[in-house]
Amino acid sequence: MMQYGGDYNPEQWPEEVWPDDVARMREAGVTMVSLGIFAWSRIQPAEGVFNFGWLDRVIDLLHEGGIAVDLATATASPPPWASAIYPELLPSDENGAVYWPGSRQQFAPTSPVYRRLAAELVTRLAERYAAHPAVTMWHVNNEYGCHLNLDYSDAARDAFRVWLEDRFGTIAELNEAWGTYFWSQRYSSFAEVFPPRKAPYSHNPAQLIDFRRFTSDALLECYLMEKRIIRASGATQPITTNFMGAFKPADYWRWAQEMDVITDDCYPDPNDPESFRAAAFQRDLMRSLKPHVPWLLMEQASNALNWRPTNAPKAPGQMAALSMQAVARGADGILFFQWRQSRSGAEKFHSAMLPHAGTDTRTWREVVALGAELGDLPDLPVGARDATVAIVFDWENWWAIESPDHPVVLDYLALVQRWYAAAHRQHVQVDLVRASADLTGYRLVIAPQLYLLRDDGAANLSDFVSSGGQLLMTAFSDVVDEFDRFRPGGYLTQLGGLLGVGVEDFGALVPPDSAGPGQSQAPISSPAGEIVGTLLAEEIHASDATIVGTFVGGRLNGRPAFTVNSVGSGRAWYLATIPDAVGTGSLLAYLFTEAGIDPVLAGLPTSVEVARRGDVVTVINHDSTPVSVTVVGTDLLTGENVESFVLPAFGYRFIQSPEVSREA
Ligand code: GLA
């Protein structure tokens, strides 16, 4: 069943408003609300004092109205009394400056006193509501790591040392892994190690990546602590916390294993005409994190936001189109931040399902219409593994590749999204995977800039090719081990044999607007069409590989740029640069042909999105120009048989079609 609803913050309103809320929710087709996310100070006005009466009443009221509750544990924003009594629970930045109360989320995740207070609150909540029939899901904390990506407090310092001791056992092991004879960094004990606080110059990159790993683990420990408490109370409902798409501080591959259902918050900018593609990436990432369990869009905006410098409204119809995009890409629920627009506070200009201006508004009409449509939509197939193309996206690599002091500054997420966007424009469905994932069933795997490559990832990618898959590796890959050390024997030490190439040097390309004489672009001549290399142009040699394309002009004129090596029935491609957006599209089109990959639907403009869930294909027009679409099947919203139709601006259709199969 499709869920529909939003964050509900009744603590911001007098109790007389609540019955109206429930009545309006029913009018809008709301099935579920996330309750109490920022209600800690209302539930617990002082240490040891709990006030559940109001929460009992609101949960009962929702239940009577047939609205399910995704009950929050309320631990995201400790009340002011908590830090007044225990200032040590406050987090700090890298300069030691404290983040004070007055906003939200001012807690050090590793603070023992924060964890004790959170545990006390969750214990009481779980014991009280575990068996309440209204509660159908648990919403732990909120957007872990948001606002405060990294905490450098004394609590973090102490916990980091314990984490390192667990990881390395002895300080000698840490010294070896971190290469601490460099710059006289050798440690005598774990008590000498700090988080990477402000230092005169670059930190040890191994320390930086371990601090990232530690931070992701520390946040996850908070989640797991609450999850254990909820389960210990006898609660059987699914437990989750809301993700934020590709969010750098938390390794969601690791986190996803601990979620019963993936939930996500997504706020594409209506003023950015390409933001729907980045949103599609985010949806596909959420589906890929837990492919066999439909995810939920936990938060989106009904209209404008408050937190960008300019908060453009959504165009008429755009909110529904973006909602259906999430459904098309595996979501079984659409929720908003928030139900009723706040009267006070920092988010009073943020749109809501029920606007401050009331029900005679476009926003309200669109919210009601969407609720009705979602209610009419039949259950959709799960949509797991419908793609035959996968793009490797890896958090550890993200952390490592963006360390300073590299040949060139790379924005890993943007580079991965460039490949994704090129596939999206060609209407080819894509999954996101880790290098070590089960790759059975994919025909083509693209691994952009896999700088940090672990042994298991390398072995898995090799097996994929040996079993008949096609793999594209790109420049600046297989460079370091998990401690950000070069491996003995140069570069591409793990996959050079598979690829049949060796990398001699990386060769930064200077930015095009740079005043100096350095080369800024590296054009390639190949059967894949127009490709211009950017950022890096590597000096490689082909040992076993066939050279498919060469650099044209500049210092690498005539040298190999694009190669292929056949291994059994599989093929391993290597591109010794990073193609621009146009080149990424050309190259991908070439590889799709080579790997026998067809679009879900062919011949549509790039502003039309196509996605599959099993035998259901969704087409969405993200542009203002109407578009003709041809696909034979049944329209799941109208029940009509269709062959072709016109999609108006922001129009969408869900078509169950025998034509759309995995082998299409
Ligand atoms: C985040 C938070 C919400 C709200 C929205 C505003 O997603 O979880 O509480 O602040 O942003 O867009």
Q: What is the CATH number of the domain that holds 558?
A: 3.40.50.880
* Shortest-distance Cα residue to atom 3 of ligand 1: 337
DSSP class of 314: P
pLDDT tens digits, residue range 72-120?
999 999 999 999 999 999 999 999 999 999 999 999 999 999 999 999 9
Quote the ligand 1 centre to 142 CA distance (angstroms): 9
CATH of the domain at 652: 2.60.40.1180
Note whether 432 and 477 are same-domain residues.
Answer: yes
143 catalytic? Reply is: yes
Is 375 within a domain? no
What's the domain count of the chain? 2
How far is Cα 253 from Cα 434, in angstroms, rounded to an integer?
A: 8
Domain end among 544, 568, 595: 595
pLDDT tens digits, residue range 492-502?
999 999 999 99
Domain end among 573, 595, 617: 595
pLDDT band at 664 (very low <50, low <70, confident <90, very high): very low
Q: How far is CA 389 from the centre of its chain?
A: 18
**pLDDT for 478 beyond 60:** yes
Is 150 within a domain? no
Question: Would you say the C-alpha torsion 629, 630, 631, 634 has a positive or negative sign?
Answer: positive
Residue 536's pLDDT is 97
**pLDDT for 514 beyond 90:** no
Quote the ligand 1 centre to 305 CA distance (angstroms): 10
* Shortest-distance Cα residue to atom 7 of ligand 1: 265
Whether ligand 1 lies within 6 angstroms of the CB of 143 is answered as yes
Q: Are 333 and 27 in contact (CB under 8 A)?
A: no
* Shortest-distance Cα residue to atom 9 of ligand 1: 337
Note whether 552 and 612 are same-domain residues.
Answer: no
Note whether 532 and 619 are same-domain residues.
Answer: no
pLDDT tens digits, residue range 250-294?
999 999 999 999 999 999 999 999 999 999 999 999 999 999 999
Q: Which tokens go with 442?
A: 């994919």
Note whether 557 and 424 are same-domain residues.
Answer: yes
Backbone φ, ψ for residue 354 (5° rounding): -105, 100
* Among 609, 619, 596, CA closest to 273: 609
Residue 661's pLDDT is 53
Note whether 552 and 643 are same-domain residues.
Answer: no
Q: Where are the alpha helices (DSSP H) in 377-425?
A: 395-401, 412-425
Residue whose entry in the numeric block shows the structure tokens 């499709």: 2
Residue 436's pLDDT is 98
Residue 378's pLDDT is 96
Residue 638's pLDDT is 96
Note whether 542 and 631 are same-domain residues.
Answer: no
What range defines the domain where residue 614 resides? 608-656
Quote the ligand 1 centre to 337 CA distance (angstroms): 6
pLDDT band at 530 (very low <50, low <70, confident <90, very high): confident
Q: What is the DSSP string of 446-485?
A: EETT--B--HHHHHHHHHHHHTT-EEEEESS-S-B-TTS-
Residue 512's pLDDT is 83
pLDDT band at 383 (very low <50, low <70, confident <90, very high): confident
539 catalytic? Reply is: no
Residue type, 552: V
Note whether 586 and 616 are same-domain residues.
Answer: no
Is 108 within a domain? no
Residue 515's pLDDT is 77
Domain end among 595, 616, 640: 595
Is 1 within a domain? no
Mutate to test the pocket of ligand 1, among 143, 243, 263, 314 (most ligand atoms within 8 A of CB): 143
Residue type, 326: A
Note whether 540 and 648 are same-domain residues.
Answer: no
Query: What mean pLDDT do residues 486-509 have?
Result: 98
| 235 Cβ contact list (under 8 Å, min separation 6) | 126, 130, 131, 135, 138
pLDDT band at 659 (very low <50, low <70, confident <90, very high): confident
Whether ligand 1 lies within 6 angstroms of the CB of 265 is answered as yes
Query: What mean pLDDT do residues 209-222 have?
Result: 98
Note whether 452 and 512 are same-domain residues.
Answer: yes
Q: Are 656 and 615 in contact (CB under 8 A)?
A: yes
Q: Which tokens go with 112?
A: 């023992």
Note whether 499 and 586 are same-domain residues.
Answer: yes
* Among 108, 95, 17, CA closest to 61: 17
Is 22 within a domain? no
Whether ligand 1 lies within 6 angstroms of the CB of 139 is answered as no
Query: What mean pLDDT do residues 448-471 have?
Result: 98
Q: Are 5 and 34 in contact (CB under 8 A)?
A: yes
pLDDT tens digits, residue range 133-158?
999 999 999 999 999 999 999 999 99
Cβ-based neighbour number of residue 474 at 10 Å: 24
Average pLDDT score, the chain = 97
Closest ligand 1 atom to residue 37 Cα is 9
Is 482 within a domain? yes
How far is Cα 84 from Cα 474, in angstroms, rounded to an integer?
A: 52
Residue type, 277: R
Percent of the chain with pLDDT over 90: 97
Note whether 560 and 634 are same-domain residues.
Answer: no
Note whether 586 and 440 are same-domain residues.
Answer: yes
pLDDT tens digits, residue range 594-603?
999 999 999 9
pLDDT tens digits, residue range 615-650?
999 999 999 999 999 999 999 999 999 999 999 999
Residue 85's pLDDT is 98
Percent of the chain with pLDDT over 70: 99
Quote the ligand 1 centre to 386 CA distance (angstroms): 31
Catalytic residue among 11, 226, 299, 373, which?
299
Whether ligand 1 lies within 6 angstroms of the CB of 264 is answered as no
Catalytic residue among 11, 143, 594, 609, which?
143
Is 362 within a domain? no
Q: What is the DSSP string of 144-187?
A: TTSS-----SHHHHHHHHHHHHHHHSSHHHHHHHHTTTGGG---
Q: Are 399 and 211 in contact (CB under 8 A)?
A: no
